[in-house]
Chains A and B, each alone.
Chain A
């Protein structure tokens, strides 16, 4: 089973509107972290937001917020007031059981296109 599932192949949103990018995850560890990264066409990976499994509140960072539904194992990214510069690939990732390795397991990504 996939650890991180991002099923939306591509998303379109009108500038200034909000958009939700879906992510579901699978883990049996009680302690884990969820991340969202943005990859613009230039290729770099930009950290956006982090949610810990024990965090009581949903994480927010500026226009980014994470809709964390632990029972449903979902960690959707919400981008408010979309901008043209938000057009990029977005990856959801998970770090679980940080014992020997802190690797991130990534989903396959979602392409977001913001229309003017």
Chain B
């Protein structure tokens, strides 16, 4: 089954404790992206990747890192999480940056206390 998976689905952590949210797709998609969803703000892009080893900042990249060492994986890293990073996070992928709808993962609900 074609899908985007994220882990963990739910995470409660404390300020400053490094964490990684994994994202994997099995559709051989070139383009992958991370979004965060906050009430009243909709979804905003954090980082994106057009292909292996090619990543760039989106609209709200502060406090986040990403890597794209393999085509299928695009982890989101929070080196020192803060309470304002409490949010619902989505990973998405599409065939390329030019075509195809973006398929979303199930979401990761992160709470930073």
Known: A44-B107, A91-B43. A104 touches B102 (CB 8 A): yes
Known: A43-B107, A91-B43. A102 touches B101 (CB 8 A): no
Q: Which residues of A contact B42 (CB under 8 A)?
A: 91, 106-109
A25 in contact (CB, < 8 A): no
The SS class assigned to the B binding surface is strand
Contacting B104 at CB < 8 Å: which of A44, A100, A101, A108?
A: A44
A98 in contact (CB, < 8 A): yes
Alpha-carbon separation in the docked complex, A85 to B40 (Å): 23
Taking a contact as CB atoms under 8 Å apart, the answer to whether B97 and A101 are in contact is yes
B56 in contact (CB, < 8 A): yes
Q: Which residues of A contact B101 (CB under 8 A)?
A: 35, 47, 50
A103 in contact (CB, < 8 A): yes
Q: Which of B69-104 contact A (CB under 8 A)?
A: 88, 90, 92, 94, 96-99, 101-104
Q: Which of B19-45 contact A (CB under 8 A)?
A: 31, 33, 35, 40-45
Contacting B56 at CB < 8 Å: which of A43, A50, A93, A100?
A: A100
Contacting B45 at CB < 8 Å: which of A35, A37, A103?
A: A103
B109 in contact (CB, < 8 A): yes
B66 in contact (CB, < 8 A): no
Q: Which of A93-115 contact B (CB under 8 A)?
A: 93, 98-104, 106-109
Chain B nearest CB from A60 CB (Å) reads: 15
Chain A nearest CB from B24 CB (Å) reads: 16
Taking a contact as CB atoms under 8 Å apart, the answer to whether B31 and A43 are in contact is no
Taking a contact as CB atoms under 8 Å apart, the answer to whether B56 and A44 are in contact is no
Q: Which of A78-93 contact B (CB under 8 A)?
A: 91, 93
Q: Which of B40-74 contact A (CB under 8 A)?
A: 40-45, 48, 50, 56, 58-59
Q: Which residues of A contact B41 (CB under 8 A)?
A: 108
12 contacts between A and B (CB under 8 A): A37-B104, A43-B107, A98-B99, A100-B56, A101-B50, A101-B56, A102-B98, A103-B45, A103-B48, A104-B92, A104-B102, A108-B42
